[in-house]
A and B are shown apart, each in its own frame.
Chain A
Amino acid sequence: MQWETVIGLEIHAQLLTKSKIFSAASTAFGAPPNTQACLVDLGYPGVLPVLNKEAVRMAVKFGLAVGAGIAPRSVFARKNYFYPDLPKGYQISQYELPVVGRGSVEIELEDGSSRRIGITRAHLEEDAGKSLHEGFEGISGIDLNRAGTPLLEIVSEPDMRSAKEAVAYMKKIHSLVRYLEICDGNLQEGSFRCDANVSVRRQGEQKFGTRAELKNINSFHFVEKAILYEVQRQIDVIEGGGKVVQETRLYDSKKNQTRSMRSKEEANDYRYFPDPDLLPLEIAESFVTEVRKTLPELPDEKKQRFMRAYGLSAYDAALLTASRELADYYETLVQAVGGEAKLCANWVMGELSAALNQNNQDIAQSPVTAVMLAGLLKRILDNTLSGKLAKEVFEAMWAGEGNADAVIENKGLKQITDSSAIEKIIDGIMVANPQQLSDYRAGKDKLFAFFVGQVMKATQGKANPQQVNELLKRKLTG
């Protein structure tokens, strides 16, 4: 039996406003518990919410970036439920009329193909606080610092057909919100979170299967694993003659499995209704125009430009524009080198990315800046360094041993390009290895590599490989 997977994602992006969505309290992460919660966040009797215009601006920015309509009038609603970290007993969200309407993004797949994924809507809402269970005996702690932090909930269409597509989509949204500087995208701190709606259906079937909502997925890696697990679980249930039930399931990354949290029957009735404390949010066309002017070059545009301006393949261009910082690094590098876009791309995606991955570092934290890397690439281009030597110099630069020229100087890694010096060395080697020389001349071509090796050994790898090849060929032939 062939099964098709259907996935839709709900992404919560914490907006980078200085203050909360409905109060003046700070949104900074990591303060001692309950020190960044004012009376409004604490839900004190008599307090009222006042909308943060900056949060609206950010939502509009996102909407424009995904080609969505911006609602001229949207409404905040109360989502009612009791929980200790929800101070008012309701969350202010948007329900029937969200600020951002239908849009879409294009995702790149590993095989080089791309797909368009629909975005149903995006709406503004406030975050809840946190319940703390560790370190308490018989009680739970509540930290309301996060209560009232602005969130943009981005809801996709059920357009994804594999875990890999879901990851690509999540990465795309992640890249977008960071490009727009509306979210720091920090998955560990929970400022970028994802719930996945997953169902399966028989290949060719039109109707969607019953879905499960997977919660608590806090990395790209886990999104893939959680979906893969859930898809297999649902297939097993159906093939075993059972029925998938609509429910919310929690992903346990330690056990790599999902487990039931609550079924549809147990689901809360949130009793949504328009929040009478807030007027409908009215957005003038002029405001949208103003926000549009502040939009940066977006990943897709940047990718196209990279392909055009630098002659890069779609795949390379997509990789290099995945984050704004990476793209900026690349462009600074090309400029500092003065061209050689392909060489620059190879180094950024090769040595640099590998080193960053290995050290689990971000491009912004790279000890080798774009200008430093440019210094290194120039030494390759002027033949001071061979590719092999350049890698050695790069490692030294990464370790903090200074810029390329300093490392070359200190380590004496300068490539030998003086023909007469190389010829002298070759002459010595020919004298020292008469047997090999006569065998080579008798037709044993394979021995050529032996001589190359000897020259490199004698020069500690510093001889220019092309020159060595040419000179050896001439001299060995006699």
Chain B
Amino acid sequence: MHTKTLAQLARDLKARKLSSEELTRSYLARIERFNPQLNAFITVLQEEALVAARAADARIKRGDVGVLTGVPLAHKDIFCTAGVKTSCGSKMLDNFVSPYDATVVERLRQAGMVLLGKTNMDEFAMGSSNETSFYGPVKNPWDPTRVPGGSSGGSAAAVAARLAPAATGTDTGGSIRQPAALTGLTGIKPTYGRVSRYGIIAFASSLDQAGVITYTAEDAALLLGAMAGFDPRDSTSVDRPVPDYTAALEHPLKGLRIGLPKEFFDQGLDGRVGAAVHAALTIYKKLGAEVRDISLPNFWLSVPTYYVVAPAECSSNLSRFDGVRFGHRCESPVDLLDLYTRSRGEGFGAEVKRRIMTGTYVLSAGYYDAYYLKAQKTRTLIRQDFIAAFENVDVIMGPATPTPAFGLGEKTEDPITMYLNDIYANGVNLAGLPGISIPMGFVDKLPVGLQIIGNYFDEARLLCAAHQYQRETDWHGQIPKGFQ
């Protein structure tokens, strides 16, 4: 049953072809068997999951059933989960048991979903390879010598290895789309404001957005429908009705205008990934779409802009981890300064420290205008490029990443090359647009992803475009060897 999609499992549960307890036991068994080699989970909720599964079965029996009742899933360990350790991949929060549920966790719990466990991630979501986690790197199920991407690397590896039918993720600069691409999965980052950020441990508040990693666009549509919507506890969430994403999947693509930004196809891109994009476009054309060349002239500014904005916000967001109220606290501090410096020095890893320092620097008196303020201006330019492009096209397509999954340890010494792995992703967060990555083939036997970027709140169109492609292809149905 682990080879089925989430949508299929949901239908089987509803039809009572299988019970949630059976299904949950099956996934827990797979986690027990495969997680040691993958390191995808930080916490496995063996007992809690079974309790929830039985409760879901009781609901199904009563006929009190939603589409997702009894379906298991995993949450990235960045989502606060009541009574459960919520580490954010950091030593700083290794001892932190959240007293409350994030809105996303609460909504999916209310939908009757069964939480299998919390997945590994780059520390505080800062990384593109899952190698900055305090809990160690995650292996890519397609090749254990390679990274699964990051920061939602644990979620991607867990779903790819069929240890969970879906997992949540967060995407600040590609952290859902890039790992989904590198593990052959579907990963959607909704419009900024579409899903509540309440209870998501903040990395960069103006960029963070929750989404899901699934097998298919149909799965993503089901989950996103349950997660999305206004939350009065998040001032940046948008009060706007959530469309029926599932119903929108079947809209024909005829006449869809696809924009192809020339800037996405320069020398940084592995030619074989570029070729896969063009192969995918052939299918879209066959489906009646029309491809137009477009330009995003300020695209080249997105990585530098991102690495000013994101660190600036994180330097402030992470100030609350001071050893005073929760989280890591150093042994016998002699005074306040000692408490701060040792608690934070010991609790944070190297990449987090690098970004806190960068962020503190760009906000400092005398540098603010040159960096932070300038980055706000370039951010506006990047956003305007997209807005202008969407006057002529309905979606923008391109590669999700420049290359397939790279080797463990390959980029850890050079942060800049690591950052460039998200070159096609960062701008989408800076603009606040929705983006989805879907499997579009293999390069060196490793999956690669097609990124589809949509206009604001146009998730339904993205999911539809992804779904129509997935009806024509079977890249998303591939399972890595050893995990069938």
Contact = CB atoms under 8 A, between A and B. Distances in A.
Interface in A48-74: 48-51
Nearest to A81: B319
Interface string A271-289: 1110011110000000000
A142 interface: yes
Interface in A250-289: 269, 271-273, 276-279
A141 to B, nearest CB: 12
Given A45-B86, A46-B98, A273 B232 contact: no
A47 interface: yes
B363 A273 contact: yes
A118 interface: no
B319 A277 contact: no
Contacts of A101: none
B200 A142 contact: no
Interface residues of A, number: 28
B96 to A, nearest CB: 7
Given A39-B99, A45-B93, A273-B363, A89 B202 contact: no
B282 interface: no
A45 B324 contact: no
A463 B229 CA distance: 85
Contacts of B88: 45
13 contacts: A44-B99, A45-B98, A45-B326, A47-B199, A48-B197, A48-B234, A50-B233, A50-B234, A80-B315, A84-B336, A87-B325, A89-B322, A269-B364
A208 interface: no
Contacts of A142: 324
B316 A78 contact: yes
A440 interface: no
A88 interface: yes
B340 interface: yes
Interface in A74-92: 78, 80, 82, 84, 87-90
A461 interface: no
B360 interface: yes
A271 B363 contact: yes
A257 to B, nearest CB: 27
A47 B305 CA distance: 26
B412 interface: no
B37 interface: no
Interface in B61-87: 79-80, 86
A80 B236 contact: no
A454 to B, nearest CB: 79
B363 A47 contact: no
B100 interface: yes
A190 interface: no
Interface string B297-335: 000000000000000110110111110111100000000
A90 B315 CA distance: 11
A93 to B, nearest CB: 13
Contacts of B312: 273
B232 A89 contact: no
Contacts, number: 99
Interface of B: 79-80, 86, 88, 93, 96, 98-100, 102, 197-202, 204-206, 232-236, 312-313, 315-316, 318-322, 324-327, 336, 340, 360, 363-365, 368, 372
B320 A87 contact: yes
A269 B102 CA distance: 33
A223 B201 CA distance: 44
Given A82-B319, A89-B319, A271-B316, A49 B96 contact: no
Contacts of A88: 319-320
A43 interface: yes
Given A45-B98, A46-B200, A89 B364 contact: no
A84 B316 CA distance: 15
Interface string A343-382: 0000000000000000000000000000000000000000
Nearest to A88: B320
B234 A46 contact: no
Contacts of B321: 45
A217 interface: no
B212 to A, nearest CB: 18
A294 to B, nearest CB: 25
A88 B322 CA distance: 9
B336 A271 contact: no
A51 B235 contact: yes
B377 to A, nearest CB: 14
A269 B86 CA distance: 32
A25 interface: no
A42 interface: yes
Most buried by A among B199, B206, B320: B320
A461 B232 CA distance: 73
A82 B363 CA distance: 15
Interface in A11-33: none
Contacts of A80: 315-316, 319, 363
Nearest to B198: A48
B320 A269 contact: no
Residue from the set A43, A50, A51, A271 with the largest chain B CB neighbour count within 10 Å: A271
A249 B232 CA distance: 42
Contact of B198 (A47, A82, A89, A271): A47
Given A45-B201, A45-B202, A47-B199, 15 more contacts: A42-B325, A44-B326, A45-B88, A46-B100, A46-B202, A48-B197, A50-B235, A80-B316, A82-B319, A84-B336, A89-B316, A89-B319, A89-B322, A272-B363, A277-B235
